[in-house]
Amino acid sequence: MPAIKIVEKCPKCNKVALVSSTRTLGSKKFLTLKCGHTITEQQLVTSKEKVRDIVWNKLYPYQQEAVEFIEKSNFNCLVADPMGAGKTIEVLGAIRYNFEQVTPIILVVKSSLKYNWAKEILKWLEKFV
């Protein structure tokens, strides 16, 4: 009996699906095929399954909820808490617990905030800097 080979096909053009590159963002994996199309795969990782370190307990409960919201939205959201609520810390917390999946990162901030962001990055992401 001859060996059977399972061949996956591109859902767009029906050519053989040969993966040329992969990227992971949040809980989604993006596969770029040699035919030029990109497909996504959902990865089943919830924030409850993640191991949090001691820094997690330094966040207020509403900041922990914000980190989980950012993760559930696959980092595709707007953090619009009131001034002084800790938006910077919420974003850096989400980056801290998903560093491998979301790097490299470009942070775009007002020039008047860049030194504060640099200080907070050194504080919250010290094990990655």
Q: Name the domain count of the chain.
A: 2
Residues 79 and 115 in one domain: yes
Q: Model confidence over 63-96: pLDDT tens digits?
A: 999 999 998 888 888 999 999 999 999 999 999 9
The CA distance from 24 to 57, in Å, is 27
What confidence tens digit (pLDDT) does each residue in 36-62 have? 998 887 654 544 556 688 889 899 999
Cβ proximity of 7 and 19 under 8 Å: no
Does residue 30 lie in a domain region? yes
113 located within any domain: yes
Query: Rounded to two decimals, what is the model's pTM?
Result: 0.62
CA neighbor of 75 nearest in space, from 101, 51, 54: 101
Q: Is residue 129 part of a domain?
A: no
The domain containing residue 101 runs over which residues?
A: 47-124
| Mean per-residue pLDDT over the chain, rounded | 85
Is there a single domain that holds both residue 110 and residue 59?
yes
